[in-house]
Amino acid sequence: MTEYLKVTDHPTLFRDPKTKAIMVIDQNARQNYINQRTLALNAVKGNEELKQEVDNLKNEISDIKSMLNQILNKFESYK
């Protein structure tokens, strides 16, 4: 059986001396990492969606302002 070496400053990580691979022995720590990563990725995705929605709203407001200005200009030309 292979003896694994502890990775300095990472209590849940071990190195296989033959393959030099780093492994997670503590499955709870691994699952916690996966959960935290998923939450972070979802937060980034949510922020990107909100940014896109705000940009769309800004464009729509700009279009509405432009149309209102056109209406005002036509109204003033009839005076």
Ramachandran angles phi, psi of 36, nearest 5°:
-65, -40
Q: What backbone phi and psi angles, to 5 degrees, belong to 65? A: -60, -40
pLDDT in tens, 32-78: 989 999 999 999 999 999 999 999 999 999 999 999 999 999 988 87
Alpha carbons 23 and 29: distance in angstroms, whole number = 12
Cα–Cα distance, 27 to 50 (Å, whole number)? 34
pLDDT digits (tens, 9 = 90+) for 2-13: 788 889 998 888
pLDDT over 80 (residue 20): yes
Give me the pLDDT at residue 1, please.
Answer: 63
